[in-house]
Amino acid sequence: MRVVVLGAGISGLFTALLLRERGDDVVVVSADATEATTSHLAAAIWFPTSAGPADKVAAWGSTTYDVLADEAARGVPGVVMRESLVVYRDEPGPQPWADAVGEVRSARPDELPAGYSHGLRFAVPLVEMPTYLPRLRQRYLDTGGHHLVRRVAALTDLLDLSPDVIVNCAGLAAGQLVGDSTTYPIRGQIVRVRNPGLTLSVRDEHHPAGRAYIHPRTDDCILGGTLDQGSWDTTVDDATTASIVARCTDLVPALADAEVIEALVGLRPGRPEVRLERDEQLVDGVPVVHNYGHGGSGITLGWGCAQDVLTLV
């Protein structure tokens, strides 16, 4: 079939690649180049954030974990398995993501930052998006896929491409295009600093000053971050930058003298639940498969969701 995939972020490219590998004739259409998408800014470590429903997130996340872990084992550029530590001030209960990641153990006291009594240790895939995302797009193009950069105001604008099916992976714009009022932006501000030699990812989802996470990459560390639901503001806030650096340094004192490279803001595609379903009524004569609303979990759910899209297509 001829499939038009709207969106060139991580969800759109995962979906388009699997469709091409299956043999479909695929055209990706996006308002911007891949490097200008929110996906390109993402810290992109496997960890479910701001996405539902819980049962499907668990299944999609498990599938994606396995694919990314296999890519890391094969040495795919930009994908590594990152040792991780989540810290808690009180004993944590069962974690819904734990079944997907293999071995999870309690952190030893000497592995915990000051002020924390509990922690969990495990390994998850981390994806360096500036390396991985352009290669993913090229991998898709090398299969014979096409990519058009053009802005659309409605899904009917895609009918000139003669699609048999349209797949809506347009991220934050996806809901606006189809009149879905349940979608909303989740503003995320992060800070890039020079990596002072860190190899352990550390996070505290309940730090008193706000969420705190440190994700080491090859040459830098991503420090975060915010989850500001409903905010469209893409301006970097200097006070938030300072707060992010301070609370991350609480967790990892080695960051105290790390050079700040830049602060960035992106808008994650929020929705109460991921929308992954077929819509026969939206465009006359052309089914639409929706795949959007992943919140902060695009890299965590992407491969699993893309496989479900294949079934619907």
Contact 147, 137 (CB under 8 A): yes
Residue count of the chain: 313
Helix (H, G, I), strand (E, B) or coil at 3: strand
* pLDDT exceeds 90 at position 102: no
Mean pLDDT in residue range 46-70:
96
* pLDDT exceeds 90 at position 43: no
Mean pLDDT in residue range 99-122:
95
Cβ neighbours, 10 Å, residue 161: 14
- Per-residue pLDDT band at 104 (split at 50, 70, 90): very high
* pLDDT exceeds 90 at position 38: no
* pLDDT exceeds 90 at position 274: yes
Mean pLDDT in residue range 67-73:
98
Q: What are phi and psi of 177, to 5 degrees?
A: -65, -25
* pLDDT exceeds 90 at position 155: yes
DSSP strand E in 9-145: where?
25-30, 79-88, 105-106, 118-127
- Per-residue pLDDT band at 34 (split at 50, 70, 90): confident
Residues 17, 141: Cα–Cα separation, whole Å: 9
Mean pLDDT in residue range 262-279:
96
User: 2-82+126-183+272-312 in CATH: which number?
Assistant: 3.40.50.720
Average pLDDT, the chain: 96
Q: Which residue has the tokens 């006291």?
A: 109
* pLDDT exceeds 90 at position 205: yes
> Mutual orientation of helices 298-312 and 10-22 as an angle, nearest 10°?
40
Residues 254, 215: Cα–Cα separation, whole Å: 13
Q: In this structure, are strands 25-30 and 2-6 parallel, antiparallel, or unpaired?
A: parallel
Residues 157, 161: Cα–Cα separation, whole Å: 9
**Tens-place pLDDT, residues 285-309:** 999 999 999 999 999 999 999 999 9
* pLDDT exceeds 90 at position 41: no
Q: Which residue has the tokens 């992060």?
A: 190
Residues 279, 271: Cα–Cα separation, whole Å: 18
* pLDDT exceeds 90 at position 192: yes
Q: Determine what percent of the chain falls in helix, strand and coil, rounding each to the nearest 5.
A: 35, 30, 35
Mean pLDDT in residue range 64-78:
98
* pLDDT exceeds 90 at position 42: no
Cβ neighbours, 10 Å, residue 277: 11
**Tens-place pLDDT, residues 111-147:** 999 999 999 999 999 999 999 999 999 999 999 999 9
Contact 184, 174 (CB under 8 A): no
**Predicted pLDDT at 269:** 95
Mean pLDDT in residue range 61-85:
98
- Per-residue pLDDT band at 248 (split at 50, 70, 90): very high
Residues 132, 77: Cα–Cα separation, whole Å: 6
Instruction: Determine the Cα angle at 293 with ends 283 and 54, to 5°.
Output: 125
**Tens-place pLDDT, residues 217-239:** 999 999 999 999 999 999 999 99
In Å, how far are 74, 100, 125, 160 from 67, measured between CA atoms? Answer: 11, 12, 9, 35
Q: Report which residue type is found at 157.
A: D
